[in-house]
Structure 1
């Protein structure tokens, strides 16, 4: 298979790039650098990246409407005005837990958010995945270390997630109307003995689950049946999370990180921390908007 065209977006490097989303109305991709408390907006139309400083560590960006977006932060979920950056608290999340922060998240087709938390130093067992409908928070899965890979099938009837530390991609049957689990999770793909760790995920229009493999410099695609069907090398060793972008949703925007890399490792990985735009010749899905009311 022919290697895809890969574009490196600007000179910005992310310590821990994460949580990307795409706004087709303005042809803009958004993502964060968790550890440096920065929010980025990249215009696919004019190629300009704008950087916004945040007053907290944020891990995921989701649309609400043309004027507002949702940020998952270290102590809760915030509504952000796109025009002037004004912030208001939607609901607290582990605000009393100084040792944790938000991590991977994705909005279900119902408009509910699945959002995870983890220990600030990836302490074993401190990670949790929550379901948030408006301001109603339901704890789904606990005892995780680095919860990641949250994604949903096109019909909303299946959810996916992984504990990167464990390396087993899970699937679970959902109520498509709410995004709430209706069964126990099952193993979708066991990567526990493989190189690198499964990180963030996005599902394409055919139902393939595209995951970033942190530490292995590649993306993997898994079928709905649980087979790894494609691996695509990327020019950064630590990719973190993909999302579909572009007017036709035909490219994957992938965040990366240089977290944990020493100076020598960074020299050996020239594109460390860069954000990538990859033309894979596939059609993706747009992450739904978060519904403010349950």
Structure 2
């Protein structure tokens, strides 16, 4: 396991830190505490962190344009005004099923937004992976327990995801112009050993960086499924990475203390914090989500 330079981003601990995103235009990182209904905003140049309280449980966001975002929440997709935080429902998301909530999500290079849902108690097979394409939600894969590691190859021709309890990282061919699958998912890597596969992001060279929940690390996989690096994270339950910084040279990694009792938290003193790692590689900007055909 490699140990690279690492810093703590702010002092806030997350019950369930997830869904980090980065906007290069404003040099701002965002992430969520899903269970506590909080959205964090960090201006990386100044190091300050602002906490936004949300009326809904949310898990991910993507930029629509400079002034607005699309927030992925337990009951729907919401337009969010960046300056004022005002939320406007754009589209319901399994709103007729109170047993589920949103989880992992990421935007394909075409602007199509892949979004995962799961049971609130991680009930087996309760979740689904959807794709928001052309303003319409398409149901891609159902009977998913915990959808995670949604990310895409730089050329947009391959999507990756996992159903975390299986510890299988999948790949599937997708149409680069639409972000929709054109093949069937196949196992890229079967993880054996400590921890479980969680959130992921792809760097500029196509390596897949996947947080390993319960193992205090982030792993890097090649597009053919070989694990080539493992970076130590200072918290046991590392949850999701994203590349940040003007040159996309740092890896922001969220963490969580969900399910940890007092003794476990004491044994993991940096539980729930958010970290900045220097991996020595570069990421790439996250695409903006397209809400229609225009």
TM-score by length of 2: 0.98
1:291 aligns with 2:279: no
The within-5 A match list for 1:184-223 is: 184-191=184-191, 193-223=192-222
Shift of 1:53: 0.4
Shift of 1:142: 0.8
- Aligned to 1:165, what secondary structure does the other structure show? helix
Looking at structure 2, the residues matched to 52 and 2 of structure 1 have their Cα atoms a distance apart, in angstroms, of: 34
Q: Provide Cα deviations, 1:164-210, integer angstroms capped at 9, x if missing partner.
A: 0111000000000001000000110001x321110000000110000
Looking at structure 1, the residues matched to 195 and 127 of structure 2 have their Cα atoms a distance apart, in angstroms, of: 19
Q: Provide Cα deviations, 1:54-106, integer angstroms capped at 9, x if missing partner.
A: 00000002111110011100001111001111111111110011010000000
Shift of 1:3: 2.7
Distance 1:2 1:115, change over 3 A: closer
Determine the structure 1 residue equivalent to 2:133.
133
Determine the structure 1 residue equivalent to 2:262.
263
Looking at structure 2, the residues matched to 85 and 103 of structure 1 have their Cα atoms a distance apart, in angstroms, of: 21
Shift of 1:2: 6.4
Determine the structure 2 residue equivalent to 1:86.
86
Greater alpha carbon shift after TM alignment, 130-139 vs 10-19: 130-139
Determine the structure 2 residue equivalent to 1:61.
61
Distance 1:277 1:80, change over 3 A: same
Unaligned runs of 5+ in 1: none
Contact 2:16 2:255 in 1 (8 A): yes
Shift of 1:133: 1.3
TM-score by length of 1: 0.98
Looking at structure 1, the residues matched to 171 and 151 of structure 2 have their Cα atoms a distance apart, in angstroms, of: 9
Shift of 1:134: 3.9
Determine the structure 1 residue equivalent to 2:247.
248
Shift of 1:9: 1.1
- Aligned to 2:183, what secondary structure does the other structure show? coil
Q: Provide Cα deviations, 1:95-152, integer angstroms capped at 9, x if missing partner.
A: 0110100000000000010000000000001011001114301111111111100000
Contact 2:4 2:232 in 1 (8 A): no
Q: Provide Cα deviations, 1:205-236, integer angstroms capped at 9, x if missing partner.
A: 11000000000000000001110011111100
- Aligned to 2:165, what secondary structure does the other structure show? coil
Q: Provide Cα deviations, 1:245-266, integer angstroms capped at 9, x if missing partner.
A: 0000011111110000000000
Looking at structure 2, the residues matched to 115 and 2 of structure 1 have their Cα atoms a distance apart, in angstroms, of: 31
- Count of residues in Structure 1 that have an aligned counterpart in Structure 2: 293
Shift of 1:286: 1.4
Determine the structure 1 residue equivalent to 2:233.
234
Distance 1:134 1:80, change over 3 A: farther
Looking at structure 1, the residues matched to 40 and 97 of structure 2 have their Cα atoms a distance apart, in angstroms, of: 27
- Aligned to 2:193, what secondary structure does the other structure show? coil
Contact 1:146 1:163 in 2 (8 A): yes
What is the root-mean-square deviation in Å for CA atoms of aligned residues?
Answer: 0.9
Contact 2:211 2:238 in 1 (8 A): yes
Looking at structure 2, the residues matched to 166 and 144 of structure 1 have their Cα atoms a distance apart, in angstroms, of: 10
Determine the structure 2 residue equivalent to 1:109.
109
